[in-house]
Structure 1
Amino acid sequence: MKRLLIAAGGGGDAIATSMVHAALYGADTPALVLTYAWERLVVDPVPGPRRPADFTGTVAAGPGLWLVTSQSAPRAPAGSLLPRLAGELRPELGLLDPYEGAVGLARQIRAAALHCGADRVDVVDVGGDVVADGTEPTLRSPLGDALALAACAAAGLPTTVHVAGPGLDSEVPEGVLLPRLGAPAFALTSCHALAVDRVFDWHPSEASALLVAAARGVRGVCGTRDAPQPVLLGPASAEVYSLSLARALELNPLARALAGTTDLAQAEAASTAVCGFSEIARERARALTPEPPAARPAGGDPAERFGTWAARTAAMGIEYVTTRRITEELALTAGESVLLQAHLRSAGRQVAPLWRLGSA
């Protein structure tokens, strides 16, 4: 038997799900993590989620169930980091295809349960938008999580929903989430972070990086590239809160509205009705007018440029930053990023997977 888990939000949620799997069942317990191939435009320039036809080298494992392996690859112009993740994470990765709405996803979940011999499902979300009510002004990407809830309800399998690191994705603030979540079920530790130890050398996920840092005991103000306000790593940041599926559906009106949807266009319409926007429509708009590349600072080696930038950023009250923020704000090439990271390690600034702005 394999444990069956669902990474509800796409992007880096498969990383957090591997940590939760290690905490719940042990890192070496066989498992399948179902996840969307739905990544930020910096990774995948094609708006919206990818489907099996967007990959080569996937493995059929049941009706509508396709496994992504290290031998899989996205078909151009699409991009995806899932094949590389499949080579580094211990659980197998299966592809969630939302193009037939919650009804189609439910079929995939039932096929996955049959493939695994599993009689229950664990849904994992890092940050907490899986319990968003749709009115939060900072909410940006509720659709994948809500579709996962609606699909689990339709699949009919006993399901537990786990929220890891409330507020770490900067979508719903921690202070808003905690009253909805109740008491924490357990805390992630540095032992659970071993399951994803090498991933952040190359993966840009910031919310999962913050979760790993919190599990390793890091506390303080962290600056990310993907949010206007810094995130405070505090006592709740390494906690995991477990809810029944019924409770999560009660909290999430979008998930309830997605019941019975049979294509992604219907799901988009439900998101617009409940939340006032479609994140896929926003991605389409951004893809048409991409952000201009960051201006490269004139002169100086990467270490000198970092020193000037770090002093300015620390003056804003930020103690730690993600690799992605450093790379994008300093407009580093891949080679420069490798050299700078080596320099920062030697200077004692690494607090893996984050970087300390002040001296050690």
Structure 2
Amino acid sequence: MKSLLIAAGGGGDAITATLVHAALHGADAPALVLTYAWERLVVDPVPGPRGRADFTGTVPAGDQLRLITPRSAPLPPAGSSLPRLAADLRPELGLLDPYEGTPGLAAQIGEAVTHCGADRIVVVDVGGDVVTDGTEPTLRSPLADALVLAACARLGTPAEVYVAGPGLDNEVPAELLLPRLGAPAFALEAADTEPVGAVFDWHPSEASALLVAAARGVRGVCGTRDSERPITLTSDAAHVHRLTLEDALRLNPLARALADAADLAEAEEASRQVCGFSEIERERRRALALREENADGTGAATAARAEGAPEGRRAPEGLWDRFLDWERTTFRLGLSHVTSRRIREELRLGLDAFQRLRAQLMAASPARDAAPLWRLHGG
């Protein structure tokens, strides 16, 4: 028998589900984590989620359920971090395909219950979108979580919802979420993070990185990408809250509206009605803007990032000097820590260039290492 967990928001939630599983049952206990292939455009340039038809090399685990393995691959031009996650995480990974709406997701989850021999489902969300009501002004991505709640309710298998690190996704602030969540069920500890040790060398998830850092005792004010509002890491940031599925549904009107959504298009329309926007439509607009930038030549930034240089040119100073200048400026903003992703995006570094910088940082100044975050120096 395997534990069955669902990473409600996709992306970094699969990492968080691994942490929660380690805390509940131990890192070596067998488990299956169901997750979306629904990632930021930096990973997958195609808007919206990927379905099972978008991958090669998956393993059937039922009529509709597919397992992702290290040998799976997305069909170009799509991208996905899931095959590499399947190599780095101990639980199996199963793909949630939302294109057949709530009934299709419920069928996939039902096949996962049979595959695992599970008698209950654990739904995991980092940040807290799963308990939002759609009116929060900073809410950006409620649909994936709400679809999972609706599908679990339709299936009827006993389920619980775990929210880890309220507010760490830098969407809805923790002070709005905590009254809805009640007292924490437990706190993640450093030992629970061991199964995800190497993931953040390459994975862009910031919310899960912040959660791991909090569990390891990192404290301070952390800056994430593309957000003026920093995250303050306290002991509360490592807390995990448990709700019944019924309580989560009561708090989430979008999930209730998705009870009979027949496909992803109907689910998207329900999001417009309840929340006033469609996150998939926002992704389409961003993807179009990126294509237009590439077409008119300003997309040279993409090549620059791969080379580790600023927009289209080499800086006269080296990478190390550029980092030091950036660090001093960022420290003056009142930040004590930053995510790797913020360093990469603001310095326009490809993964290879960042790995070179990382090695230099580790050798020259080990005190900056607050893995998976970086401690800033203001000198």
Counterpart secondary structure, 2:171? coil
Deviations, residues 98-150 of structure 1 (Å, cap 9, x unaligned): 00111110011111000100010000000000001101111000000000000
Distance in 2 between residues matched to 1:52 and 1:226, nearest whole Å: 31
Amino acid paired to 1:55: F
Counterpart secondary structure, 2:235? coil
1:339 matched to which residue of 2? Answer: 356
Distance in 2 between residues matched to 1:202 and 1:254, nearest whole Å: 33
1:128 matched to which residue of 2? Answer: 128
User: 1:185: Cα distance to partner?
Assistant: 0.2
User: 1:160: Cα distance to partner?
Assistant: 0.4
Cα RMSD after superposing both structures:
1.3
1:182 matched to which residue of 2? Answer: 182
Change (3 A) 1:333 1:168: same
Distance in 2 between residues matched to 1:158 and 1:139, nearest whole Å: 28
How many residues are treated as equivalent by the alignment? 360
User: 1:226: Cα distance to partner?
Assistant: 4.1
User: 1:196: Cα distance to partner?
Assistant: 0.3
Counterpart secondary structure, 2:356? helix
1:233 matched to which residue of 2? Answer: 233
Distance in 2 between residues matched to 1:134 and 1:252, nearest whole Å: 8
> 1:297–1:305: 8 Å Cα contact kept in structure 2?
no
Deviations, residues 279-325 of structure 1 (Å, cap 9, x unaligned): 00000010000275363672211111111101100100011111111
**Which aligned segments of 4 or more residues in structure 1 are displaced greater than 4 angstroms?**
none
Counterpart secondary structure, 2:228? coil
1:81 matched to which residue of 2? Answer: 81
Distance in 2 between residues matched to 1:50 and 1:277, nearest whole Å: 20
Counterpart secondary structure, 2:362? helix
Distance in 2 between residues matched to 1:59 and 1:188, nearest whole Å: 32
Ranges in structure 2 where 5+ consecutive residues have no aligned partner: 294-298, 302-309
Comparing 227-236 with 104-113, which one deviates more in the overlay?
Answer: 227-236
1:264 matched to which residue of 2? Answer: 264
> 1:214–1:237: 8 Å Cα contact kept in structure 2?
yes
Q: Which structure 2 residues correspond to residues 319-358 of structure 1 after superposition, within 5 A?
A: 319-346=336-363, 347-348=365-366, 349-358=368-377
User: 1:343: Cα distance to partner?
Assistant: 1.4
Q: TM-score, normalised by structure 1?
A: 0.98
Deviations, residues 19-62 of structure 1 (Å, cap 9, x unaligned): 00100111111100000000000000000000111111000011
Counterpart secondary structure, 2:329? helix
Distance in 2 between residues matched to 1:297 and 1:172, nearest whole Å: 38
1:255 matched to which residue of 2? Answer: 255
1:212 matched to which residue of 2? Answer: 212
1:63 matched to which residue of 2? Answer: 63
Deviations, residues 216-269 of structure 1 (Å, cap 9, x unaligned): 011111011143311111121000000000000010010000001110000000
User: 1:12: Cα distance to partner?
Assistant: 1.0
Counterpart secondary structure, 1:237? helix
Aligned: 1:10 with 2:27 = no
> 1:69–1:87: 8 Å Cα contact kept in structure 2?
yes
Amino acid paired to 2:321: E
Which of 302, 306, 315 is matched with 1:298 structurally?
315
Ranges in structure 1 where 5+ consecutive residues have no aligned partner: none
User: 1:183: Cα distance to partner?
Assistant: 0.3
% identical equivalent positions: 66
Q: TM-score, normalised by structure 2?
A: 0.93
